[in-house]
Structure 1
């Protein structure tokens, strides 16, 4: 059956198919968050997620066709271009063409050393295997976007709640890890610090960002009518906020401040909510959330003042020593060497070492640029930078321009989440693991227009 998301709903068969898609996407989120936080170094974990994503696509071929025919045009184009870019970089080019591309002198020299024929065809990518892996990395988030964007609002809310529960489960695992000073329960063989919360990630910045995104979506979710659920939501938000601080990720703590400002905006809006022209009314839910938020703030400040874990986290802001500026300088130089076409998606680690300045060389290997915009400029040149700007522009327009009833706050929350990812990308590489890629895809789903017949 060919499913068209903007066509009239075909009754019970559509309902069963829609529920099936929701369950499959929930499973994909669970698999991604539990296995996908280690990045490219853990290929088998990523492979399991990607194969599951392909299985979901194969089981819902009609839905994929429906998205291609009737999905939001700009979103469809962005998904296709994003997935096609690494594949285009793998297309072999005539020797005269690829050798004329910037930065290919070392490739030509390597061919000469190996005694290979000078007239061999070669792609834009200087490492085909790495670029193929980069393409495979788009499969899971693309699956989330293609299938999720055709869901109605209640189904999207189910995905949001699943994501929040998974983030809380990851936080619970992190608490178990901390209880053993990170000697037990870590999912990746990393050099860990005993007082840092890693949860299901190999990078504490990614851990902190996961909690930030979950908190943003929790704040943006419809306010529960039952008091016990409202208390549970406030408690979950409090735990997520404290979890961000325990990760000791400075970038995530800055992003937490943005989400807390968004929280305050929602609380004030709820308190003052009323009919047009009428006196503002006081909403008990808003007051309860405001009091709880003030209590959390006082608890965090108290912990910081008494030298607790919050104090250890905030102390990191006084530690200004970092080698990021040196990596950025060398990264910009490498990007200029391959400008404007880039070296191939996923090839940063192969090409950066060639351009690393001797005065900046240290025992630690710079496997990432710690600025994803610089890194994609190296790998994809002007094309990836423009593509990123279009994605951000589409997200901003969708977050601010959707006025559908019931979706306004979710759109704003998703927009805040996309903004947080973009900001952390200035200092880190949040979208280089499957967990946060699928989280970002969920945010895109929330920003996608609802089906015309959705209520």
Structure 2
């Protein structure tokens, strides 16, 4: 079930709204995986590691609470409901009991969309190490398949039958995704994943010749980013490239080299962030659809609906009220292209609290992974992967696809594992390769 879930998510979960049947199948498989985990409890779900799990469960709970019907005396007095009330008045409909969310179907979809990430998180926390290594290899292999498909899509033109979704970036390489930026995300995060996979394989007694595999993998990833024409992908790839040194070469005890590795990754993250934000003065498609315009209007909507929000997933319903009627075209905004703002619009103050709590957990856990007295390449790569995805969320919405969601959930689970594994030194003198130590 584990491999089936990941393969299905990476092959069929490349769209946030399109591919309804594929996403439904992935969510059902995720529900089965979660149910199986509930009846096979282990110590991996006890104590501090389970905090991130509770955060994901709380996010699902927030969506469910927003679906509860409220009497008209309450929901009509909530901020941001003026247009809904006026619409009902003009239609001659009395305001009766209605859900908190202005888009109940979309809110339910947002709750269900978290299932694959929760299932992947549990797998990352509980699966045997060899299975995690195999999953890293699976992600790398599917990235390469996706790039090959993307190159063929671009070579066969705008009318290519190889595009999997009706609404997609035709003319660009998208692979198994609907959005070329999300293929770029997968390519960028595959660089640290492939590096950790090779480190872990060598820890199992493999030869140094396995490192020859890293060169074509990285070239494939960079080629994929180039053919997506994603500026964000180029910045994120910089983080992946810098992480190769940190994951494969840094050894505990070499404090100067370790400090250099951390500073190099931090500089790469900062540089990529500058590139991401500086590059987004252009459009997301259509007049008045530039990201800066989307963000400004989304901030206005957030202010009007504060502090409770309009319902998770309700952006596409709420945003049109903030558009300029004189510049509206047949191009519509389905997302804010900043997932933090979009989540804040839908979830209000409760969503902000959850995001801050996750940021605290992520920073504390990341520092713990890189400063631990023992080494775990899989966990180190997981911190880089999550950093890449979280950074891309500033200008896009990769986590709204099941494909990126399962990778992100898996990496969070690996970061939260209660055990760390020492990887071998370059000269093979480290004999602790298979020893598990409590962190």
**What TM-score bracket applies, with the shorter chain setting the length?**
0.7 to 0.9
Rounded to whole Å, the distance in 2 between the matches of 1:264 and 1:48 is 39
Q: Which of the numbers 104, 112, 123 marks the counterpart of 1:128?
A: 104
Q: Does structure 2 retain, via aligned residues, the 8 Å contact 1:421–1:430?
A: yes
Q: Name the residue aligned to 2:344.
A: 377
Cα separation, 1, equivalents of 2:132 and 2:88: 52
Structure 2 residue aligned with 1:432? 400
Deviations 1:403-441 (A, max 9, x none): 26341x332321122121122111111111111111111
Alignment correspondent of 1:77: 54
SS of aligned partner of 2:98: coil
Once the two structures are superposed, residues 216-262 of structure 1 have per-residue CA deviations (whole angstroms, 9 ceiling, x without a partner) of: 21123353342442212332122112221221101011111122122
Q: Larger C-alpha radius of gyration, 1 or 2?
A: 1
Is residue 153–residue 454 contact of structure 1 (8 Å, CA) maintained in 2? no
| 8 A contact 1:63–1:147 mirrored in 2 | no
Where does the alignment leave 5 or more consecutive residues of structure 1 unmatched?
Answer: 1-23, 281-313
Q: Deviations over 1:190-235 (max 9, x none)?
A: 45443x2110011010000011111121123353342442212332
Name the TM-score, length of structure 2 as normaliser: 0.81
Q: Does 1:41 align with 2:18?
A: yes
Change in CA separation of 1:274 and 1:37 when aligned onto 2, cut-off 3 Å: closer
Cα deviation 1:243-293 (Å, max 9, x = unaligned): 2122110101111112212224446x35xx59779xx9xxxxxxxxxxxxx
Any residues of structure 2 matched to 1:306-325 within 5 Å, and which?
321-322=282-283, 323-325=290-292
Instruction: From 55, 58, 64, give the equivalent of 2:32.
Output: 55
Q: Is contact 2:42-2:126 (8 Å) kept?
A: no
Question: Which consecutive segments of 4 or more residues in structure 1 shift more than 4 A?
Answer: 64-71, 273-277, 317-320, 451-455
Q: Give, in angstroms, the shift of residue 34 of structure 1.
A: 0.8
- Cα distance in 2 between the residues matched to 1:398 and 1:318: 30
Aligned positions of 1:31-430 closer than 5 A: 31-63=8-40, 72-118=49-95, 120-181=96-157, 183-190=160-167, 192-194=169-171, 196-223=172-199, 224=202, 225-266=206-247, 269=249, 321-322=282-283, 323-358=290-325, 360-402=327-369, 403=372, 405-407=374-376, 409-430=377-398
Q: Secondary structure of the residue that 2:69 maps to in structure 1?
A: coil
| Cα distance in 2 for residues equivalent to 1:353 and 1:200 | 30
In 2, are the aligned partners of 1:57 and 1:64 still within 8 Å (CA)? no
CA contact (8 A) 2:198 2:211 kept: no
- Structure 1 residues 150 and 451: alpha-carbon distance in aligned structure 2, compared to 1, 3 A threshold: farther
CA distance in 2, matches of 1:424, 1:88: 28
Cα displacement (A) at 1:319: 9.9
Q: Is the 8 A contact 2:123 2:410 kept in 1?
A: no
TM-score of the aligned structures, taking structure 1 as reference length? 0.78
Distance 1:202 1:115 in 2: 40
1:442 is aligned, of 410, 415, 423, to 410
Structure 2, unaligned runs of 5 or more: 258-274, 284-289, 421-434
The structural deviation recorded for 1:343 is: 0.5
Query: Which shifted more, 220-229 or 374-383?
Result: 220-229
